Amino acid sequence: MDSKVHQRAYPQQVVEEYSPSIPKEFPKEKIPKNLCEKELIKMIKCERIFQTNYACVEDYEAFVQCKKQRDLELFKSIKEWEIDHFQKLQPHLRKLYFQGLTFKKDRLKQDYERIPSSFSYQNRQWRFMSDIEQIEWRLGYLKPIRDQQ
């Protein structure tokens, strides 16, 4: 593969994959122990040594794979924990919890619309969209439980 492809592709993978936004009440002990720090440090060191990222393809791949695995585990843990937590709530508290998430999503959408569209705000737009999509995902698996009596 052409090294210029790696030069453009790998930094995009590092920044454009959504990482989970952790719910406020989520237990810290459920956060994976490996947060990919070693892989990140190795990738950064390689890039600093070679002053380019295409020489560090293996390090980028190792970090991206670690991050994907970590995030999948975290998304799974969040869903399992939140379903269990939500099911234990009284019906009126479920409704309030669901309304709170809906309100947060709507507020994020309003804030997203106010973010300037210039390149310098691209990362902020991306983060807001990530949070909006994750809340929609959470609402999707909580809605059937909310409607149960």
pLDDT tens per residue across span 90-101: 999 999 999 999
Please spell the DSSP secondary structure of 24-82, one letter per residue: TT--GGGS-S--SHHHHHHHHHHHHHHSSSGGGHHHHHHHHHHHHHHHHHHHHHHHHHH
Contact 18, 71 (CB under 8 A): yes
Nearest to 78 by CA among 39, 24, 122, 114: 24
* pTM of structure: 0.81
| b/e 74-83 (16+ beta carbons within 10 angstroms → b) | beebbeeebe
Summarised one tens digit per residue, pLDDT across range 66-76 is 999 999 999 99
